Amino acid sequence: MSRVSVRYVIDDVPAAMRFYTGLLGFTVEQDASPAFASVVRDGVRLLLSGDGSSGKRPLPDGRQQEPGGWNRLNIEVEDLAADVERLRGAGVSFRMDGGVSGPGGSQIILDDPSGNPVELFQPRRRDPS
């Protein structure tokens, strides 16, 4: 069976699992903490690679794999404002004050506990007429 997964390099796998399952609606698929875990939501499989996992080992040229960057997981939500309020109340760190809007909808970018970006996206509602 073929499947697509997204890998995030993580500093603290148990903290990342709590973040994704407790705040963003993922469920645990595999828990090999503290080195690795996978979580799933709506057909998306997110691989959380911490210290000791093959996904976080140094590259052949010696560079360390680190969290961060701007490529990101995109999660579609029904009510962006309500989700932002809930997540701010839980102490989640956002990369911007307020969100941005465009022709397709509105978005905001937050950080997981290791500093990996996650985008919450609310599509623009179309008039039924």
Predicted local distance difference test score (pLDDT) of residue 127: 65
Q: Please report whether residue 32 resides in a domain.
A: yes
> Which has the higher per-residue pLDDT, 102 or 46?
46
The total number of structural domains that make up the chain: 1
73: number of Cβ within 10 Å: 17
Q: Please report whether residue 60 resides in a domain.
A: no
- Domain that includes residue 108, residue range: 5-54+67-123
Predicted local distance difference test score (pLDDT) of residue 71: 87
CB under 8 Å to 32, separation ≥6 — which residues? 53
pLDDT, tens digit (0-9, with 9 covering 90-100), for 61-94: 998 888 988 889 999 999 999 999 999 999 999 9
Q: Please report whether residue 16 resides in a domain.
A: yes
Most confident range (mean pLDDT) of 63-67, 81-85, 98-102, 121-125 is: 81-85
Assign 129 a pLDDT band (cuts: 50, 70, 90): low
Q: Please report whether residue 62 resides in a domain.
A: no
Q: Is the pTM of this model over 0.85?
A: no
Predicted local distance difference test score (pLDDT) of residue 115: 94
The whole-angstrom separation of Cα 71 and Cα 118 is 9
The whole-angstrom separation of Cα 20 and Cα 11 is 14
**CATH number, position 107:** 3.10.180.10
Q: Please report whether residue 59 resides in a domain.
A: no
